[in-house]
Structure 1
Amino acid sequence: MTTQPDHPTPADRPADPPPPPGPAGPGGIPTCYRHPDRETYVRCQRCDRPICPDCMRAASVGHQCPECVREGNRTVRQATSTFGGRPVTTPVITWLLLGVNVLAYLAEIAQPEQVIGRYAMSAGHVAVGEWWRMVTGAFLHSPPPSYWHILFNMWALWAIGTQLERILGSARFATLYLLSALGGSVAVYLFGDVAVGASGAIYGLFGAMFVVGRRLGYDVRGVLWLIGINVVLTFVIPGISWQGHLGGLVVGALVTALLAYAPARNRTAVQFGAAAAVLVALLLVVLVLPPLGLTG
């Protein structure tokens, strides 16, 4: 009595299908499957089709044809930054924001009264429909002969922005910066009068560093000291808009928390959906409420 094995032996298994034959030229010499007029003895390591030098793509072993390279790239998971953004080698957004701020300051030097008068954040002007001031005011600074304002803000943007952009990714960093700037302007609208400066956005970056540090398990005492010292200076030095500073700080910390603690599933949609909700909420505040600093 004979028994059949539970699993087929190697001899019982069907043979693997032969590799797809490549085209052959005169005399049986193989030619490139994409360029039949070119003879070649090199074959793709994945599909075994003959490929000429123009079709060779370097692989870990040997060469592959363009079609196999494209197919392989579809299955490769793209690298992301810590919170889902694309990896950043050069912090383009940080340098772009620096450039815009500097250009706006040069415009102030050329025509200080016109630029400040038309684009500075002003609660009264926003209340009558000049909404653009909530954004443009965040790119202006105290005009000459005062230089410390823009120097400090640009130093902070370079020092902190380059780190945050690499951690968050460029798109998320740009969202954080602009919403923090808008948050500072909304606070000025509600409780202040006129203000200029990127300080609201910069304080938003301070708040972001704290949230990111906590999320990644870092020691955030240094960031707390930085925030505490700057908040004290906000109330000690005359002429500083505490509204813009604190508004940017709160909104920056909130937006970063939404980015950093978003669930891994559908993370990108959740992050930008939450950021859009913050934007709508800030605009509704200005649309519904009067400037309390002027009417109170």
Structure 2
Amino acid sequence: MTTLRRWWADAPATTLLTLTAVIVYAITALQSGSLMDNLPGSSLGAAWVLYGPEVAQGGLDRLRALGAIFLHIDLGHVAINSFMLLLIGREIERFAGTALYSAAFFAGGIGASATVLWMAPYNPTAGASGALFALMVLLLGITRARGGDLRAPLALILVNVAYTFIAPSVSLWGHLGGLFAGLLMVLFFVHPRAAFRWAGVLGVLLLSCAAVLLV
């Protein structure tokens, strides 16, 4: 409990986003009765999984582009993404502040969802990986702005990009969409003027939402 309070004080948005993903996973696992194949048989999974034909119907199904960010397909999936979010998100939130960091997370996540809907609409997709790819790019930009060693964040991006092309089960377009959203944001994100930082992040967020609405 003390550790959770410390994380909450240090990085409240990162903590809340991670807890949301874990809670959503727990609900789907309870509904499906499975820890390792938790979306089939889950009403929440059926309602939130990102699937182009459903989103194209409009209405509340557009919210799948948001809900799918917190949906994960098994225990390993949510564990890896939650660990990476805690590790990367905390650093970015401490640099940028809670509000700007939160906007960047959703810009990356919804941008990834929009890319999937346009490029692979018939592939059901779930997970926070797209948002994480955007955050990895922002971490690289922050490290450069601080004058730090770029090898670790570059290696993190390259390993994950390579894994994207090797592993058949991951969402290629979700990962590439998040990466692209991060690239669009990064120069704004590290700009010394707050107005520029917010303009870049909100611009990508609005562009991502518009892309979802136009599906």
- TM-score, normalised with respect to structure 2: 0.84
Corresponding position of 2:3: none
Over residues 216-265 of structure 1, what are the superposed CA-to-partner deviations in whole Å (9 max), with x where a residue is unaligned?
A: 2222122111111111111111211011111112212322321212xx4x
Corresponding position of 2:141: 211
Corresponding position of 2:63: 132
CA contact (8 A) 2:134 2:183 kept: yes
Corresponding position of 1:190: 118
> Distance in 1 between the 2:171 and 2:92 partners?
25
Q: Residues 1-296 of structure 1: matches in 2 within 5 Å?
A: 90-112=10-32, 113-129=42-58, 130-142=61-73, 146-192=74-120, 193-261=123-191, 264=192, 267-288=193-214, 290=215
Code of the aligned partner of 1:223? P
Over residues 3-42 of structure 1, what are the superposed CA-to-partner deviations in whole Å (9 max), with x where a residue is unaligned?
A: xxxxxxxxxxxxxxxxxxxxxxxxxxxxxxxxxxxxxxxx
> Distance in 1 between the 2:89 and 2:204 partners?
21
Q: What is the aligned residue count?
A: 195
Over residues 22-79 of structure 1, what are the superposed CA-to-partner deviations in whole Å (9 max), with x where a residue is unaligned?
A: xxxxxxxxxxxxxxxxxxxxxxxxxxxxxxxxxxxxxxxxxxxxxxxxxxxxxxxxxx
CA contact (8 A) 2:138 2:189 kept: no
CA contact (8 A) 1:214 1:220 kept: yes
> Distance in 1 between the 2:211 and 2:85 partners?
27
Unpaired segments of 5 or more residues in structure 1?
Answer: 1-87, 291-296
**Which of structures 1 and 2 has the larger relative contact order (alpha carbons within 8 angstroms, sep 6+)?**
2
CA contact (8 A) 1:157 1:202 kept: yes
Corresponding position of 1:43: none
| 1:132 to partner: Cα distance | 0.2
CA contact (8 A) 2:107 2:202 kept: no
Between structure 1 and structure 2, the one with the greater Rg is: 1
CA contact (8 A) 1:121 1:196 kept: yes
SS in 2 for 1:131: helix
> Distance in 1 between the 2:9 and 2:46 partners?
39
SS in 1 for 2:10: coil
- TM-score, normalised with respect to structure 1: 0.62
